[in-house]
Amino acid sequence: MTTYGSFPGTRPRRLRTSPVMRRMVAETRLHPADLILPAFVREGVSEPVPISSMPGVVQHTRDSLKKAAAEAVAAGISGIMLFGVPEESKKDGVGTAGTDPDGILQVALRDVRAEVGDDLLVMSDLCLDEFTDHGHCGVLDDQGRVDNDATLERYAEMAQVQADAGAHVVGPSGMMDGQIGVIRDALDQIGRDDVAILAYTAKYASAFYGPFREAVGSSLQGDRRTYQQDPANLRESMRELELDLEEGADMVMVKPAGPYLDVLAKVADAVDVPVVAYQISGEYAMIEAAAEKGWIDRDKAILESLTGIRRAGARNILTYWATEVALTLR
């Protein structure tokens, strides 16, 4: 046989010959503890409400949310991130329901903590968009623009209320300048230096959020491009990363995950804090829709997509398949 370089002596295929060989030499592994389940809880419903654009995902009742949290514990995942969906009549210009101790998100936080205690990290979305009648992540000024600093005041109050309701971790997702420092100060002022902050460091103005808007009953008018990041930019994410860490972020996130694996890898290489990625609603919906058409193998595509996110550098992944995948891995 003709020799070409080190071939035929070197044959990488020897390490791919069988499932057990491939498993032994795998460089990236998924584990249930890597996963976090995003979950929606809706006020005023007696049965879970299916989300049409996200087959298999629902807007929970308080009772069904507690059941989902218990199932997450049994599956071995690490956390559950809660999003509240208030009654339409309770939305207003400043998102009052988001800081009402009896608002749906705070009630749900208390429910889940009572159900699972410290066996599951109970995380809370810290943003106003679910609670405002205009659907933006902050307070608007008299010209209809999101007022960054007025919004920070609302976030500070929101952080304190969520901590009081039982959140182990708050996730400020609004992309306001200075939000991490303001929230850290607000938590420390009430003696809650134990509550961690998961910073949405690189949150892009993505077209893949569409199904999420249905999931939270969004009232958004216009878009969020003046505060979420431009999909064209990477260095901007690194600047946001530096600022979030200076302000006291305990963990950092890249969102979306799949279309931004280059950003995720760059962030992961740059920091020594846990890096999280959010596999968002559009990523979920595309795989489910293609699988429903018979165009792809659903289960293999789910695991491959999550492995790619993990390989790119995510320590943890928010995914709507968290409990299902954890049970498969176990």
List residues with catalytic annotation: 203, 255
**Token reading at 217:** 């009953």
Rounded to whole angstroms, how far apart are CA atoms 207 and 247? 29
What is the end-to-end Cα distance of the chain in Å, rounded?
46
**Token reading at 317:** 């992944």
Q: What is the dihedral of CA 62, 64, 70, 73, to 10 degrees?
A: -100
Rounded to whole angstroms, how far apart are CA atoms 69 and 54? 19
One-letter amino acid of 10: T
Count CB neighbours of 155 within 10 A: 26
Count CB neighbours of 143 within 10 A: 6
What secondary structure does DSSP assign to 184-244, as a single string? HHHHHHTT-TTSEEEEEEEEB--GGGHHHHHHTT----S--TTTSBPTT-SHHHHHHHHHH
Count CB neighbours of 99 within 10 A: 21
One-letter amino acid of 174: G
Q: Which residue has the tokens 């070409």?
A: 4
Rounded to whole angstroms, how far apart are CA atoms 146 and 141? 6
Rounded to whole angstroms, how far apart are CA atoms 113 and 218? 26
Rounded to whole angstroms, how far apart are CA atoms 54 and 140? 30
Rounded to whole angstroms, how far apart are CA atoms 138 and 93? 9
DSSP one-letter code for 100: -
Cα–Cα separations (whole angstroms), residue 286 to 100, 282, 296: 36, 6, 11
